[in-house]
């Protein structure tokens, strides 16, 4: 470990105030994490994602944050340095694409797979930039993979105090059961996610009951995102036979799909179901707009969730813009952006935890690294209450 710099830091003495903090959000998507961080008071200056479809929702809803269409694997340190500017406290956030880590993938060989390597590129940027705080969000099973262990080991070797754990976002105000791994790391001492509130979880009714009713395959004229996929005649009969919290097992035999009648299909009851009004929603996927893709049927209207309803269940405000006015709505594109988003409420809690850490952390000795010429590459990261 490199020697620690003494506490007579040459960084600004105001470090730790929100206006002296800058965050860069890697793999930013449509801006769920960024929106939550900003709501908490953490200024986000840049978001990075390879998907150009993220540009409009990211920049239209997150004032002060600029979208950069970049491949994180090719992202240069100098560019990220320029985005941070002269901020006293630098926060590097990110959620590497989670598909290879999910329970659906069920494969734990990480070597040689491009998408696994994105977490290694996140680690590369941490080593090169040495931000004061690092945060990551991903699926619960990411902790089972070697690449995650390597990421944590990299942080610890660089002098970071590391906390991570699996949390249910419903315990932090999200109207959805969504278990995620959250990681927080700091050069200035112990850090962790704050404890959940004592209030009961929000329910589907609390956030969706006031939206105007629409039919399947239609849109609401006042909000193009409040639009639903069309049901086939057979699926319309199926949802009409469904009850909240139920599944295809509740249907008359004539409506049950042949694949579900076989023994191999009987173990998949969580599809073709309605949500329950007075409970949090089940975990949304990128195909939440399809009735047959999970328990994504509206509690009482004969249709699947609209894109707007999915966004609200992910914590996005009802006014969050996902496409420019007049642009055609594409279910697959927007379903992916919404379903893959970091829940806004979870982002807010991460931001609150970071600011709480900065506000209470004693002035700490920096762990600034030494460059090849033996001198410190960065000013001290010391913060004080």
Task: Provide the annotated active-site residues.
Answer: 98
Q: What DSSP character marks residue 314? A: T
Alpha helices by DSSP H, listed for 229-373, are 233-240, 258-261, 307-313, 331-339, 344-360
Is 125:164 a contact under the CB 8 Å cutoff? no
For residue 292, what are its two tokens? 């047959």
Q: Which of 83, 86, 65, 64 is nearest to 75 (CA)?
A: 83
Q: Where are the beta strands (DSSP E) in the chain?
A: 21-26, 44-49, 66-69, 89-94, 133-138, 161-168, 179-186, 219-220, 223-227
CA distance 163 to 111: 25
Is 12:20 a contact under the CB 8 Å cutoff? yes
CA distance 184 to 136: 7
């Amino acid at each position: 470990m490199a020697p620690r710099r003494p506490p007579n830091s040459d960084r600004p003495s105001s470090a730790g105030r929100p206006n002296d903090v800058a965050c860069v959000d890697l793999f930013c998507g449509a801006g769920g994490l960024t929106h939550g961080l900003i709501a908490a008071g953490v200024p986000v200056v840049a978001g990075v994602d390879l998907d150009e479809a993220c540009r409009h929702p990211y920049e239209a809803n997150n004032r002060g944050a600029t979208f950069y269409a970049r491949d994180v694997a090719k992202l240069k340190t100098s560019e990220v340095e320029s985005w941070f500017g002269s901020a006293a406290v630098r926060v590097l956030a990110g959620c590497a694409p989670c598909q290879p880590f999910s329970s659906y993938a069920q494969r734990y060989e990480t070597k040689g797979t491009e998408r696994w390597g994105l977490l290694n590129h996140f680690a590369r940027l941490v080593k090169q930039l040495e931000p004061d705080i690092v945060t990551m969000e991903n699926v619960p099973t990411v902790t089972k993979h070697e690449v995650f262990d390597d990421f944590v080991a990299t942080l610890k070797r660089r002098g970071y105090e590391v906390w991570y754990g699996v949390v249910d976002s419903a315990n932090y105000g999200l109207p959805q059961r969504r278990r995620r791994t959250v990681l927080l790391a700091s050069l200035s001492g112990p850090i962790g996610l704050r404890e959940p509130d004592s209030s009961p979880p929000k329910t589907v009714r609390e956030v969706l009951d006031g939206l105007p009713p629409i039919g399947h395959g239609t849109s609401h004229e006042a909000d193009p995102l409040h639009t639903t996929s069309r049901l086939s005649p057979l699926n319309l009969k199926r949802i009409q036979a469904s009850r909240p919290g139920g599944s295809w097992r509740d249907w008359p035999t004539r409506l049950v799909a042949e694949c579900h009648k076989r023994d191999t299909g009987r173990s998949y009851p969580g599809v073709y179901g309605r949500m329950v009004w007075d409970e949090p929603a089940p975990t949304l996927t990128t195909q939440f707009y399809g009735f047959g893709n999970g328990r994504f049927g509206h509690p009482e209207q004969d249709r699947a969730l609209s894109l707007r309803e999915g966004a609200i269940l992910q914590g996005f405000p009802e006014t969050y813009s996902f496409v420019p006015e007049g642009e055609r709505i594409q279910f697959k594109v927007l379903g992916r952006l919404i379903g893959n988003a970091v829940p806004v409420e979870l982002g807010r809690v991460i931001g609150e935890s970071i600011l709480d850490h900065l506000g209470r952390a004693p002035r700490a000795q920096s762990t600034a690294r030494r460059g090849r010429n033996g001198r410190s590459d960065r000013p001290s990261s010391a913060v004080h209450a």
